[in-house]
Structure 1
Amino acid sequence: MADTPLDTDPPAAAQPVVHLDALPPGTRLAEFELQDLLGVGGFGLVYRAYDHSLHRTVAIKEYMPSALAARQNGQLLSIRSSADQATYQYGLQSFVAEARLLAQFDHPSLVKVYRFWEANNTAYMVMPLYRGMTLKQARVQMASPPPEDWLRTMLWSILQALQVLHEHNTLHRDVSPDNIFLQDVGPPVLLDLGAARRAITDQSRKHTAILKVNYAPIEQYAQADDLKQGPWTDLYALAAVVYSCLRNDPPLPATARVVRDSMPSVRSVAETVKEHFGHDYSEAFVQAISHALVIQPAERPQSVHEFVQEIGLQAPAGLGKFDWRSALGVDLLPELEDHSRSNLQTQAQTQTKTVPVTVSLPARRWHGRGWGLLGAAALLAVLGIYWGLSSDLPLVAAPEPAPIPAMSRAAVPEPATSDPTDPWPVAAQTDAPVQAGEIGKPPAPVARPASPASVPRAVARPAKPRPPKPLCVDANFFAYPVCLFRECLKKENFNHPVCVESRRNSTSQPAPAP
């Protein structure tokens, strides 16, 4: 994501992107003057620049694999070790090949390359400066799944871009929510062919594959005659993107589905969305997405044209002036907007793994979130880790409540300290107020001073707080995540222990390395 030419006009308070080897503002590269650094990735730096020849603002991507090279003097790059010389040169050739490939295309949903050249032991691409955010970040702001009409507009743009690539015998192989860019005004754009990334990670192109495990079909995990890659490979990933938008959580990895396909069907997800949010999805839409998500490559739609015919897509009107926010028709969460925008340039691509292609598929086990075991579902219900909230949501500290007043033993009977039927057991009583972010945790034991003789012991001991009411007790297994998501959006449930614990769990995972 950081390797793409994006701009979101972040707030003035946002920290600027910095990198030790980045060129300083004011540097001239041919007729272009660098203004600031927009993004940093493992294989390139992206700058905002001004074109003094055509008087326009552009984005310049510089080939810069930071693990292999460093800035030596001025604009010149030097390789850190002679052992990396061949790998660096191979990546540079792939970077130039990607630029030449993109320069052949002139489609509004594909990144356009204005110019590229080699100099200073590296190479540069000049591209448009897009303004907006990725589909992944936009989904975080949506209070409900997008309706079918909106998804059809997005699908039309991305499918047209894929059709152009497929006609040139090129597969994208990395279609995902963070590689679909929603412009503030204009059609969605497909990002990041990733040629340089694949070349650096695997010079031989035989032993490893770069993929996002939840969106990659099974044929990307292994090199076998009966698992060939083709247009159906990108169609599976795009259908997985739609599934992720509906459920607000990606589908199961293909390797887990091969062993035992316990992933909820598209139809069941669509019915749950209709029940809780009122969005209706047509039979043709549900059937086409289900068809493209079939595990076996030969059983999916074999071309973009076949998929378009099956789903019944038609060119949307006014696509050049498409405003994804106004066309969405669902509520957005404004309190999350600045958070998403400020992280756009530096957000790393998620769930990317290097997987050996010789993997033994039946022996693989999936250790991520699953739907298979009811015992796991009960554990998720206790912890409040539900699928309705994205892992990108910021942690919001709950307001500090007032301390619970003491009550007499005569008014409230003293609870048993080891009652197994107690849904919210209390380890020890304390007079200290509950701190923000600790709601739902049993208070830690504290040493209590001896009570004066004149004060009865029953008066000095506070009463046990009343347990909060359970949420979504009547929801079934599949509807529980959506129900809990809606309940936790309500103001009166904001401080509910399950909602507070869910927000903490959904944001406590470290961000992956770019």
Structure 2
Amino acid sequence: MAFPAGARLGSFEILGLLGAGGMGEVYRARDERLGREVAIKVLASGYLSDPEQLRRFAGEARTASSLNHRNIVTIFEIGQSDGQPFLAMELIAGQTLRKVASGALLPLRGALDIMVQVAEGLSAAHEASLVHRDLKPENVMVARDGAVKILDFGLAKPFGEAASGELARSLSKTSTGIVVGTASYMSPEQARGHAVDFRSDQFCFGLILYEVLAGRKAFAKASAVQTLTAIIEEEPEPLAHLNPKVPPPLLWIVDRCLSKQPEERYAATRDLARELKQLRDNLSRLTGAVQQGTSETRAVPVAATTVRTGAAAPTTRVTATTSIPAPAPESARHRTARVLAAALGALALLGGGTGFGWWLGNRGAETESAWKGDLILGNTTQVLASRLSPDGQTLAFVTPAGGVTQVAVMKPASGDWTVLTTRPDSGSVYRVAWSKDATRVYFDRVTDIPHGIFSVPAVGGPEHLVLEDAQSPEALPDGGLLVVRTSTQGEFRIHRFSPDTGLVSPLGPPVVAESVGLALRASPDGREALFWGRLATEGAKSLPRQLHLLDLATGTVRPVTGELPVAPPYAFSADGRSVVATVAVGDLFRLVSVSLDGHEVRGLLTVTSRPSSISPGPAGSTYVCLSESTQEVLRFPVTGGVPVRLGAARGALTSPALLPDGRVILPGLVAGRRRLFLRSPSGETRPLVDTSEETAPPVATLGGTRSVFLAGAPGAPPSLVLASIEEGRIQRRLPGTEGVVPQDLAASADGRTVYYPDRGSVWAIDVDGGTPPRKFTTGHGVAAFPDGKELLVQRNGINGVDLFRVPVTGGHELRIPLQGNLRLAPVPLSGRAVGPDDRIVVTVASRDSWRWSPALLDPFTGTVERIPVVFEGDVQSSGWADGEGLVGLGVSLRTELWRFQEIR
């Protein structure tokens, strides 16, 4: 029934009709109790006897009211008047996105302003474990002030952990095989009637983003059935053809959202929102580069399609000029390659490479030349490390198989590849190396400790143990091997091993053990080797980590790159005259060639994902494995299950920092600078402190009102600072902490002392005093017991990780026993690892899995019980939240293997 002006629904007076549809009407009304105008949604009278529609109507109310976000419509009241159910919600003075986007194309920035807000609202729903399932332009309102609100959660469905809760029961569960939604805005899995999760909404978001950029729907057929078929089987017309003004990075975001396979979309919608926001904020640079790009290069767009056996790989041309790749008329789908060609290379030159660009400019370095890129492996196949054979014909790489990582080989010319090793219970493979005659592949197996060096024939066959208790093999021309062992002091030592005689001889000084293994690369002539780290000699431990060159004849070591801040990966060039290494340039990564004396530097190419391995090949080619790691703060019960995702981190988060009120401290990047942010459960985010300095993890919270973290001017060594969380300001710098590199921070129960591990020692500092830190004991991780009388100290040694109870006043240490097959992973403890009942949450590794996972350790019996958290990645550095829950750091990984060829 229609409601005339003046009619009443509960305490609301109807003022007029706003709109009507097949399922009901929306009215403008006045809330007489609060004196505000609202929107009233009522169900059409024809549906009042339909239990399914009544369920859906009530479900929308419960769903939307459970969400509190600026980009989701607010539900004020759920009511019923004379048998008529209604919803009272905020009144939005504006238009639907359908009306806003009708007619002429929206300006690019205006379209992005809208879609960034849609993505942020959608992310909030997904982090609350809800998928919308009916996202379309009609369900997006754009207010007059530009604010965007997502409407109509009538088809929303819980997924993950929430699917078993009360909300799920109130919404009921749509059975698999039942198609719900709007035909033109469905994902392929939704169109098939399959079960859906948050990635289905990402596809729908991609459809809307495509439409506002192209001015027409991606899939629009004569009938709903034809439209659904097209969504499942066809590809939309390339967006670049319809709107040439769309920059390539935005094209790739659309392509990733519109991937047919859900696993090829975003691992978290928060990542999608962040990428879109960063692109919008840098749009002037991108569009400026588009306008300037002319004749210097004519490139094809990046296309990262799934590579099948024997299929030709997609190509891109990478350059550091201000040109942007011009779209080419290709019918193949563009997947996200994460190698942004000249567009983001231009961004690096425009503003990302402040210090490094100056350094190169003053060394007379050449600018980057143009490169052609071929995607070799990616999407569904993870490539964790790769090495090209000496004859340049075969790639060996590490990939997950059967729960652990194994050795695989591939012929790049054909795309054929196979897994060589199959042992499921001896640890995971970390690094591979070829024998000089290319007949065998050497590799290591590691859990929490190295189990040995092995070899396997390149054509297949059983693997053989070569040397126990060693890792990081590197073959030499004389048939010998370089390997790494861990000393009794917990330091890395490089050794030379002769398989013929069995002789193992140490080479060079010890190296501080700050990661899982030490990457070695031998020169082609076998006279020298590269490694990256910090020498464990007096005075050298305080120096920055850097690339070193080891003379294998004398054992002497010298730095290679001097002031140039290179980081792994690295490799000798094919001729052995230079080193190919990686330099971070803002959010980008630049591959450079450095002469062995460090005086000549040449820029090679710029990529947007972090390289994890470099392997120079024949004829000027270079194979690069790119990886993109996503860190998320996860909350889960001690019994495990599907975690609640509290937020994604942009930056190196060591362990989660959760406040008693549910807010979480997360690292991020703003204008190329590191920042810490405070994020509320509703998704509201603000800087942790008001400062022009960079702020970064690790973070310790003191009673929920103060925090300690790293801060410092850009480019300067940071120091630990004490800050007020509520006031948002730094209160003082902690003396004597400039240049420290703490792996994590732990606060005492009274909040007066902070402990941290740094370079093999545990340090203590009084946060309210003026004294510098004092060395407390040796160790690589630390947490505080709730009673304030003891510390839990982690020590990584040759036999693995040990934990000790250490009195804060000194005295006898008690080693905590460990029972069972699970081993402690060599990652720092969370500062909140010890619970109220003294149970300890640890990170464990096992021989049958390459994933690290949380576990509960009983300090009295030594029993370790794995916590089964449902997450595609490592869950590490977990700690106790207030109450019985846990928070941990979820780390997922996406990789691609590329072959780059310089165009001369």
Quickly name the TM-score band, shorter chain normalised. 0.3 to 0.5
> Which is bigger in relative contact order (C-alpha 8 A, separation at least 6)?
1
TM-score for the superposition, normalised by structure 1? 0.47
**Which one has the bigger helix percentage?**
1
Larger radius of gyration: 2
**Which one has the bigger strand percentage?**
2
